[in-house]
Amino acid sequence: MKKYKVGILGATGTVGQRFIQLLEGHPQFEVTALAASDRSAGKPYAEACAWKLNGAIPESVRDITVQPIEPPLDCDLVFSSLPSSVARETEEAFARAGYPVISNSSSYRMDEDVPLLIAEINAEHLDLIDVQRQKRGFSKGFIVTNPNCAVVSFAPPLAAIHRKFGVESAIVTTMQAVSGAGYPGVSSMDIVDNVVPYIAGEEPKVETEAQKILGTFADGAIQKADFSVSAQCFRVNVLDGHTCSVRVNLKEQATLEDLVTAMKEFPSLGLHSSPKTFIEVMDEPNRPQPRVDRDAGDGMTITVGRVFPDTVFDYRFVSLSHNTVRGAAGSAILNAELLIDRRII
Ligand code: NAP
């Protein structure tokens, strides 16, 4: 199997560390370049990075010198986990320099010519890459993005429902882990013994991204799905794993069994990072829970529970996913595997 050399932009951060952990021993990728801010550039990775994940920093990257976030880097593609404040300019510079850019940042997610990809749901949106190259004058390079980490928790069950019965509208309440804010993130004085009903910039993302993901691609553009989402986003005292409470109105009638079957039968892809089960529906009345269920499918499975008819909407359910794995690095790696599988990389 061919090995591709990969670079990580924002390699010292919360998502950057998860990239390094997940890419260790990957059959298709070898980490050859790491980049971060001026604070880290010029230092060996092990010195620049305040490693927060279980286990030691992989030997293969400890001594790689961290570089500034500008091309060229010694790699075939880049994963980006940069703050949105710097991602827009930097990701464009890499794409223009000929690198495929697979990004976690919000900077390009809603641009009309940029795929906002959940590999299992909307792989056909990759056809936008040709449109993007033409429009922006990229030759070899391009940008593909992952959704917001809370959107990844509820978009898959919503997709399963939407495909079969049509979603009319949804109310989503998110309970988001502290690692979602990066490091050092929310002050312990703010989050211990507390729930914070505000995450800057989050509610508009949760209210708009799923419609693009579930949109249809035709004539070189995405026609967004025509349902509305109302969101409230909360930061909660959980380390990893975003939970969403969802209420949904359908366009067509469906039984509870229909709904659960649609979720359970949504296929996984069979790529290296694909979980065996994409959406796991749990029967226990007190699941899913972040501490217990976030690592399902090595962090790549979406767990869903408490699927019931609702007293105001048609149905309600709770969904959960690991925000730095399925919500960030794991999905980006899966997207890169899909791009290779489709011969786009
Ligand atoms: P983080 O822990 O704060 O890490 C940020 C990374 O970007 C670090 O490597 C940092 O380098 C680098 N950086 C910061 N400012 C920079 C600058 N001006 N120039 C160059 N590099 C700079 O943040 P994170 O949680 O990993 O998030 C990274 C991106 O992923 C964000 O866009 C975030 O919205 C998105 N995302 C995060 C999650 C999550 O669960 N955390 C999930 C999905 C998407 P230094 O160490 O050198 O400062």
How many angstroms separate the CA atoms of 198 and 322, rounded? 20
pLDDT digits (tens, 9 = 90+) for 122-178: 999 999 999 999 999 999 999 999 999 999 999 999 999 999 999 999 999 999 999
**Pure H helices in 104-150:** 119-122, 128-136
Ligand 1 pocket check for 104: Cβ under 6 Å: yes
Distance 104 CA to ligand 1 centre (A): 9
Distance 83 CA to ligand 1 centre (A): 5
Q: Which of 75, 149, 233, 244 is catalytic?
A: 149
Domain residues of the chain, as ranges?
4-148+328-341, 150-322
Ligand 1 pocket check for 323: Cβ under 6 Å: yes
Amino acid 249: pLDDT? 98
Q: Which of 75, 162, 233, 242 is catalytic?
A: 242
Active site residue 242: yes
Domain range 4-148+328-341, CATH class:
alpha beta
Determine which residue's CA is closest to atom 47 belonging to ligand 1.
37
How many angstroms separate the CA atoms of 73 and 236, rounded? 38
The correct answer on CATH 3.30.1180.10 for the domain covering 150-322 is no
Ligand 1 pocket check for 243: Cβ under 6 Å: no
For the chain, state the CA radius of gyration: 19
pLDDT digits (tens, 9 = 90+) for 92-134: 999 999 999 999 999 999 999 999 999 999 999 999 999 999 9
Ligand 1 pocket check for 261: Cβ under 6 Å: no
- 3-class SS of residue 119: helix
- In the predicted model, what is the mean pLDDT of residues 174-187? 96
- 3-class SS of residue 29: strand
Ligand 1 pocket check for 16: Cβ under 6 Å: yes
Amino acid 217: pLDDT? 95
- Residue 1: pLDDT over 90: no
pLDDT digits (tens, 9 = 90+) for 48-89: 999 999 999 999 999 999 999 999 999 999 999 999 999 999
Distance 84 CA to ligand 1 centre (A): 8
Q: For a substitution probing ligand 1, which of 8, 14, 79, 335 has the most ligand atoms within 8 Å of its CB?
A: 14
Fold agreement between 4-148+328-341 and 150-322: no
Determine which residue's CA is closest to atom 16 belonging to ligand 1.
37
Ligand 1 pocket check for 80: Cβ under 6 Å: no
User: How is residue 69 written in tokens?
Assistant: 């976030």
Alpha carbon 76 to chain centroid, angstroms: 21
Ligand 1 pocket check for 234: Cβ under 6 Å: no
User: How is residue 228 written in tokens?
Assistant: 């509305």
Ligand 1 pocket check for 69: Cβ under 6 Å: yes
pLDDT digits (tens, 9 = 90+) for 10-46: 999 999 999 999 999 999 999 999 999 999 999 999 9
Cβ count near 85 (within 10 Å): 9
Alpha carbon 122 to chain centroid, angstroms: 13
Distance 266 CA to ligand 1 centre (A): 32
pLDDT digits (tens, 9 = 90+) for 283-293: 999 999 999 99
Average pLDDT, the chain: 98
Q: What is the DSSP string of 240-303?
A: S-EEEEEEEEESS---HHHHHHHHHT-----STT--S-SEEEP-STT---HHHHTTGGGGTPEE
Q: For a substitution probing ligand 1, which of 15, 70, 242 has the most ligand atoms within 8 Å of its CB?
A: 15
The residue to which tokens 């910039």 are assigned: 201
Please give the backbone phi and psi of residue 263, each rounded to the nearest 5 degrees, phi first.
-70, -50
Whether 66 and 12 have beta carbons less than 8 Å apart is answered as yes
Active site residue 322: no
Determine which residue's CA is closest to atom 21 belonging to ligand 1.
37
